[in-house]
Structure 1
Amino acid sequence: MMHRLPGLLLLCGTLLFAAPSMEKNVTRVVSAAVQEVNQTARHTASQEEIAKHRRVESLLKEKAELEKKLLDNNIWSKIYSNYHVYQELKKDEEALNDRINELNRMHVRTDKEENELELAINEREILQGKLQLLKEYEKNPFKKFLTPPHIDETPTVGNPFAVISALSYIKKLQSDQEEYSNRYRSLRTILKKFEKRKKILEQLVELDRNNPQFKQELKDSTEKINTFVPILEIFKTTRDVYDKKIDEIKLNLRGEIKKEIEKASVIGGIILFFILLIFLMKYLVRRYMSDNERFYTINKALNITFVTLLIFILLFAYIENVNYLVTILGFASAGIAIAMKDWFMSIMGWFVIVIGGSIHVGDRVKFVREGIEYVGDVVDISLLRMTIHEDVTLTSYMHNRRAGRIIFIPNNFVFTDMIANYSHAGLKTVWDGIDYMITFDSNVSKATSITKEIVKKYSKGYTDITRKQLNKLRSQYSMKNTNVEPRVYSFMEPYGVKISAWYHTNAYATLTLRSTISAEILERLNQEEDIFLAFPTQSIYVDKDVRKPLPPEEIQDDEDTLP
């Protein structure tokens, strides 16, 4: 329509300079043209209003969606909202205080002023309660969110186990760093949305300049942005410093971890070399040595050597200041000695056993503790205890009635309890005895002779072995009585004559020879007519002529006849 307006005006001008005869026609044409122009202007204004209204609705819809996003799970908006509410409440409280002070300064107050004062005081109490709830938002409410996570003390990677702690520490640092960066990104995103909301409000104000709500919201949005911009700058600077510090710590820890892994690999290689060397030596000893006792001793020595080397390797590898350790142990030795007295005594007992040589693995020993006897073979001697395998012996036959147990004896018992060694210094035999009782009217000399003959017959080999072993021990011990021949004694007892035979037998098989000799003696004695075995007996003599009891009448007659 607008492009037709110049043409109409040109037409009107032309008609004005036309002939007078056409004056009336020109007037009508101009009038029609003006009406058409007015109609066109009104139509254009109506379309502009419609477009403006649609634009406002579109911006309001976009603004509503943006505000919804700002309210959903937005801690920064909530903190700012609480901070803004606190500031507004603070202003209201100051205004109330001024009004209350003004009313209190009045000497005479009307009823209306009295009611106003009372209401103001009540309202102030309510405001103070609200302010107390929002106390944390009084100053710098964003401080705890701007403060980076606390960095704990950096661990020192001084041993392989510390590598695990260092890796866990690095993982925690990365988690804290990521969480702090997420805070920064969320604040930056919120600020961008605030700026977008501000642009929308500026457009709304431009479209509707008479709307006070849009102007107030634009003002509030500008205040929010002005509040968050310096916070974002501070956050950015703090985050950069925090990231650099975290990166430096992680770089140092990774270097220490790499160094410790290399060190542990070298130490592990050395230990593996010694393990292979120990196994090779054990294999050679087992293959070319038939003596089990020597093999056990060498095997034990190799184990102790390996453990000692391992301790020294680890000690010098992971303890930087050995003098410091020695000093600490020196101060702590008294307390440790008291707290671990039994352990130290057992270790000292181990030294006594090993260096003194009183007990060896394979020896048969007898151990007495609280009146209970244990007899068995030593199968192991460790740093803290001896291990004994209980065998069937005379002790188990007469007292315990059980055997086959594994008994652990602390080494410190060598200082406090009696331990008898049946096979010390190469001795393989012990004295054993058999006792039996014969009657007084038996031939004692024949019984003694038979018994001596039998024990000599079965113990001859052990007697010769014992003689040789005792001769060797004379260089170590002062031994006056070295008679090893079997001995037979006879003793008077209340119920007969006791024959006691003593002989040497295998220390590891006393019951076998004892059983054989007992059976032989019993068989020989049963063949003799003048030897009788004695055992506790009881004789009962029965009189067949005992008178029967008399009836009462006869008893009375007898009494009457008595003088």
Structure 2
Amino acid sequence: MLNNIFKTLFFIFLISLNLNAKDVKAQEIVETMDVLKIKDTVKILDEELDNNIWITRYNNYLTYRKIEAELVKIKKDAKKYGRWKGSKYKELSYQLRNKIKIKENELSLISEYKDSPIGSMIKPKDLPKAPTVTNPFNIIEAYNYISKLNGSVDEYEQTNIELSDLLITVDLKIKEYQKLYEIDKKKSTKTELELLKKELKDFIMVVDIVSTTHEVYSRKIDQVILEVNDAIAEEIARTIKMIFIILILILLAYGVKVAIKRYVQEDDHHYTANKLINFLLIVIIIFIILFSYIENASYLVTFLGFASAGIAIALKDWFMSMFGWMAIMTSGAITVGDRIKVTRDGIEVVGDVLDISLFKIAIREDVTLTSYRQNRRSGRVFFIPNNYIFTDMIANYTFDGLRTVWDGIDVNITFDSNHKKAVELAKSIATAHAKGYTDLTRKRLQKLRKKYILRSTNPEPRVFAMMEPYGITISTWYYTNSHATLALRSTISMEILEAFKSADDITIAYPTQTLRVANHGPIEPESLLPGTTTTGLFDGPVAT
């Protein structure tokens, strides 16, 4: 009976053991599956962290701390062995000192991680100096500056976002390691878990610092941007005001030009007035711009004073030309369209003024008596420096409204000609052909008498008879067009020539020489022997 009971109990025990073994085996299978799943998740997280710049910088930080701890230990050992005696310890102390230098060099390479787990990137970029907006060109610079500041804020904000995302990843990895440790209870897992918790703690500190710094940094940048925007708005307002003033000046100058064109008849006066108005307008605009954008005007005046003194010495001709231009413009001695004659170093140029610029006068050479007798060329454009009016002789053929000049024609007649008749003929011809210019000159001279003292204003042609070595010179003078002297000169010359040729008692003279030869006897051959004399054809009688 007892034996049967014992057998039954033993059988039940065996069955329970078998069931227990199956449960343990099933539990082990489940745990193995969980471990594999956890490791797969950790692997994915590790791959994500391996490509993270912040983890790389954190590893550099750990390396710095490791080297720093090693350095402390080496220094302690070097100090200890340095006090011991014996060559063995001296050698050991020497090696430790070398290691100290090596470790210090290693620390210097990664010194930025001394105070921060992410190195120098825990600090935002230093704010560059704000530009001083004093002219329109600085506005562009100021907007670039604002763009850089906004970029710095965005960059630092991106750092904060990346670190926050990193915290989430590290926290997930910690949770996975906690699950793993609950399953395997391995020491290596526990060690890795503790390192991850320290890493998370360090990054929480970093994120807290970055978040606070980002807030302060953003406020500082907002303040700077506001100040720069105020400076930009002030400069834009000042620029608009200055442009408005310049536009008013331009419109005023245009109005003055229109009024001059309406009420002044002469074209050359239009040109001169326009030149002066443009010059004054440019000078005023330049001074407005200078005094608008230069804070210390007295400094500018002083600088210009010293600079102009030096420049005046180095560029004397330029300055003299500018003063000459001012003298020409203000005095009206030469205007555009005038016919002038410039004499320089024996060279004479006669032509019409094309333009009067700040430094030179442009003259277009015309066919004149000067080009006919001397230059034998015409049509060229000469550029005469304005400073020549102070040093050289410049003749104006059309000054102050005059459009005529005296021109003279000389004709030689023989001593036995009727010079009175010749004078009458020449005067009648000149009077007939120059009548229009004579009347025009008379009107112009009457106007000039109101401004100038004129002793002689008789514009009638004048004829003079002068005795010369080869005959009598009949000099005929008359008024002619300043711009076309040769045409009337040619006409009058030919008329006088025809009149003199037609007169029986007038003979045109030219340089002649009368040769009288005495009637000698037969011409003997000349003796060319030494000591003899000869008598030539033109030899006079020999004195006895």
Fold conserved (TM > 0.5)?
Answer: yes
The one of 408, 425, 448 aligned to 2:400:
425
Q: 1:227 to 1:332 in 2, by over 3 A?
A: same
Q: 1:367 to 1:61 in 2, by over 3 A?
A: farther
1:54 aligns to 2:33 (yes or no): yes
1:517 aligns to 2:492 (yes or no): yes
1:80 aligns to 2:55 (yes or no): no
Q: 1:260 to 1:98 in 2, by over 3 A?
A: closer
> Residues of 1 paired with 2:105 and 2:495: CA distance?
112
Equivalent residue, structure 2, for 1:331: 302
Aligned partner of 2:30: which letter?
A
> Residues of 1 paired with 2:337 and 2:233: CA distance?
50
Kept in 1, the 8 Å contact 2:321–2:359? The answer is yes
Kept in 1, the 8 Å contact 2:438–2:479? The answer is yes
> Residues of 2 paired with 1:265 and 1:247: CA distance?
27
- 3-state SS, counterpart of residue 362 of structure 1: coil
Scaled by the length of structure 1, what TM-score is found?
0.73
Aligned partner of 1:84: which letter?
L
- Quote the offset at 1:91 in angstroms: 2.8
Aligned partner of 2:41: which letter?
E
- Quote the offset at 1:441 in angstroms: 8.9
1:216 aligns to 2:187 (yes or no): no
Kept in 1, the 8 Å contact 2:413–2:471? The answer is yes
Kept in 2, the 8 Å contact 1:390–1:407? The answer is no
The one of 336, 353, 359 aligned to 2:328:
353
- Give the percent of matched residue pairs that are identical in Structure 1 and Structure 2: 35
1:305-334 deviation digits (Å, cap 9, x = unpaired): 766776787688x4798xx52x23442342
> Residues of 2 paired with 1:100 and 1:312: CA distance?
76
Equivalent residue, structure 1, for 2:539: none
- Quote the offset at 1:243 in angstroms: 0.8
Q: 1:220 to 1:333 in 2, by over 3 A?
A: same
- Quote the offset at 1:393 in angstroms: 3.2
The one of 237, 247, 255 aligned to 2:212:
237
The one of 147, 162, 168 aligned to 1:171:
147
Which 10-residue stretch deviates more, 337-346 or 34-43? 337-346
> Residues of 2 paired with 1:457 and 1:132: CA distance?
111
- Quote the offset at 1:175 in angstroms: 2.0
> Residues of 1 paired with 2:49 and 2:303: CA distance?
64
Scaled by the length of structure 2, what TM-score is found?
0.75
Q: 1:452 to 1:123 in 2, by over 3 A?
A: same
Kept in 2, the 8 Å contact 1:444–1:531? The answer is no
1:331-352 deviation digits (Å, cap 9, x = unpaired): 2342143245356655544443
Which 10-residue stretch deviates more, 180-189 or 433-442? 433-442
Kept in 2, the 8 Å contact 1:439–1:531? The answer is yes
> Residues of 2 paired with 1:334 and 1:68: CA distance?
74
Provide the aligned length of Structure 1 versus Structure 2: 511
Q: 1:246 to 1:96 in 2, by over 3 A?
A: closer
1:192 aligns to 2:168 (yes or no): yes
1:488-527 deviation digits (Å, cap 9, x = unpaired): 455646x887665443221122232233334444555666
- Quote the offset at 1:139 in angstroms: 4.8
Kept in 1, the 8 Å contact 2:57–2:119? The answer is no
1:383-439 deviation digits (Å, cap 9, x = unpaired): 6655545444334443272325374643x4433333322122322222233456678
1:248 aligns to 2:217 (yes or no): no
> Residues of 1 paired with 2:367 and 2:227: CA distance?
67
Aligned partner of 1:244: which letter?
R
* Structure 2 unaligned residues grouped into runs of 5+: 516-522, 525-544
Q: 1:149 to 1:99 in 2, by over 3 A?
A: closer
RMSD: 4.4
1:255-312 deviation digits (Å, cap 9, x = unpaired): 4545555565566566556655665665576567654345446655765676677678
After superposition, residues 470-549 of structure 1 pair within 5 angstroms as 470-474=445-449, 476-482=451-457, 484=459, 485-488=461-464, 490=466, 492=468, 500-523=475-498, 531=507, 534=510
1:68 aligns to 2:65 (yes or no): no
1:227 aligns to 2:205 (yes or no): no
After superposition, residues 262-411 of structure 1 pair within 5 angstroms as 268=243, 272=247, 279=254, 286=261, 291-293=266-268, 295-296=270-271, 299=274, 303=278, 318=292, 324-325=296-297, 327-341=298-312, 345-346=320-321, 348-369=323-344, 371-381=346-356, 386-397=361-372, 398-399=374-375, 401-403=377-379, 405=381, 407=383, 409-410=385-386
1:193-222 deviation digits (Å, cap 9, x = unpaired): 33333333333333322242x333333333
> Residues of 1 paired with 2:48 and 2:467: CA distance?
116
Q: 1:246 to 1:132 in 2, by over 3 A?
A: closer
1:72-122 deviation digits (Å, cap 9, x = unpaired): 261x33333233223322333343344445445443466xx7886676566
Equivalent residue, structure 2, for 1:91: 69
Aligned partner of 1:426: which letter?
G
Equivalent residue, structure 2, for 1:4: none
Q: 1:260 to 1:100 in 2, by over 3 A?
A: closer
> Residues of 2 paired with 1:223 and 1:460: CA distance?
120
